[in-house]
Amino acid sequence: MSGLPGKIDPTDNTLCPETFQQIPGSSPFLSASLNLDLIRVENLTDVATRAGYLPSVLRDSADRILKGDMSAEADLGDILDSFSTRRDLRPAFAGFYLDVQDIFSSSIAGWADDLRDALGLYHYNPLPPVSEFTVLVFRYPIRSVPHFLSDAKVRPLVPPSVLDSRPNPAFCPVPAGSMTGHTVHLGLNVPPLMREVIHPPVAYKPTHVFRMGVIRRRLQIATLEESRRWHLEVVRDQSRRPDFARSTDP
């Protein structure tokens, strides 16, 4: 049985993160289609360990499901249920599948590296003694996100704020009132903007497992610095806030 709530009560200070307690009615994602797919990347070893399973067991079950072997559904479901029961309730970062779908349509072997870069997942940087990260890509419709207690048709999706992430070169919050957050691309000097939202954690199902891959490419700090500068210029222009983040990124 999943330990994650399927409903969010914004008046509950104990179980509902502050991020979702006072969302303005004008927030654009409150009216997003429930059929739109989100994308989230998880470290396979972290999921297995939190669930109480060996990483090899999760890897095998996920591999079988991805190859169409539905006899592995029960085993994978047990692992994901255990993970959901043991994880915390911190908001989850996610991207939109439509923004990154071209990465998956490519036959290039390094798609996992490209996805890491596009979603700004700075913590997946394989530095010695770590040589690689095996990751699971979860794809799930917005309807899978827990809904508000008062309205089953509304999902709490919001742009990330400075309170939602530890400081790092790849994370830039947006000015108050912005329509959406955007990831800082890790591998291109002038990349396209990728939308970014946070939402209450989802209880993953075997049908949500979309890809399994390996991140091996190290980040290039010089490229990241240039990408961050470009990213902030676009955010300042779109928000009409030329002073935004000048104190941290002059």
- Between the CA of residue 91 and those of 29, 94, 181, 197, 229, what are the distances in Å? 15, 10, 14, 10, 26
Q: Check pLDDT > 60 for residue 163.
A: no
Q: What is the rounded CA–CA span in Å between residue 110 and residue 25?
A: 40
Residues 170-192 as b or e (16 or more Cβ within 10 Å = b): bbbbbeeebebbbbbbbbeeebe
Longest dimension (CA), the chain: 56
Answer for the pair 224, 170: CB distance below 8 angstroms, yes or no.
yes
**Residue 18 domain flag:** yes
- Poorest-confidence range of 28-32, 36-40, 65-69, 160-164? 160-164
Which residue is it, tokens 């309205």? Answer: 151
Cis amide prior to 129 (ω within 30 degrees)? yes
CA distance 58 to 88: 20
What is the predicted pLDDT for the residue at 1? 44
In a domain, 185, yes or no: yes
- Tens-place pLDDT, residues 180-200: 677 777 876 556 677 888 899
- Tell me the C-alpha distance between 203 and 163, whole Å: 23
C-beta separation of 230 from 189 below 8 A = yes
Are 119 and 185 in contact by the 8 Å Cβ rule? The answer is no
Domain-embedded: residue 28: no
pTM for the model stands at 0.86
* Average of per-residue pLDDT across 28-35: 86
- The answer on pLDDT for 67 being more than 50 is yes
Specify if 116 maps to a domain.
yes
Helix ranges (H only) for 7-96 are 44-51, 55-66, 73-86
State residue 204's pLDDT score: 97
The CA-to-CA distance between both ends of the chain, in Å, stands at 49
Structural domain includes residue 14: yes
For residue 98, the surrounding DSSP H or E stretch is: helix 97-105
1 located within any domain: no
Number of domains in the chain: 1
Residue 12 in domain: yes
Q: Which domain holds residue 191?
A: 7-23+33-239
Q: Is residue 78 part of a domain?
A: yes
